[in-house]
A and B are shown apart, each in its own frame.
Chain A
Amino acid sequence: NAGVMQNPRHLVRRRGQEARLRCSPMKGHSHVYWYRQLPEEGLKFMVYLQKENIIDESGMPKERFSAEFPKEGPSILRIQQVVRGDSAAYFCASSPGQGRIANTGELFFGEGSRLTVL
Chain B
Amino acid sequence: AQTVTQSQPEMSVQEAETVTLSCTYDTSESDYYLFWYKQPPSRQMILVIRQEAYKQQNATENRFSVNFQKAAKSFSLKISDSQLGDAAMYFCAYRRKTSYDKVIFGPGTSLSVIP
Interface size on A (CB < 8 Å)?
A: 25
Give the interface segment out of A20-28, A78-86, A103-111: A103-111
CB contact between A56 and one of B42, B43, B97, B102 (< 8 Å): that residue: B102
Give the shortest distance, in Å, between B67 (CB) and chain A (any CB): 19
Inter-chain contact count A-B, CB under 8 Å?
A: 58
CA distance A91 to B42 in the complex (A): 13
CA distance A112 to B97 in the complex (A): 26
Interface size on B (CB < 8 Å)?
A: 25
Q: Which residues of A contact B (CB under 8 A)?
A: 33, 35, 41-45, 48, 55-56, 59, 89, 91, 93, 98-99, 104-112
Apart from A33-B102, A42-B106, A111-B43, 5 more pairs, CB < 8 Å? A56-B101, A104-B50, A106-B35, A109-B45, A111-B42
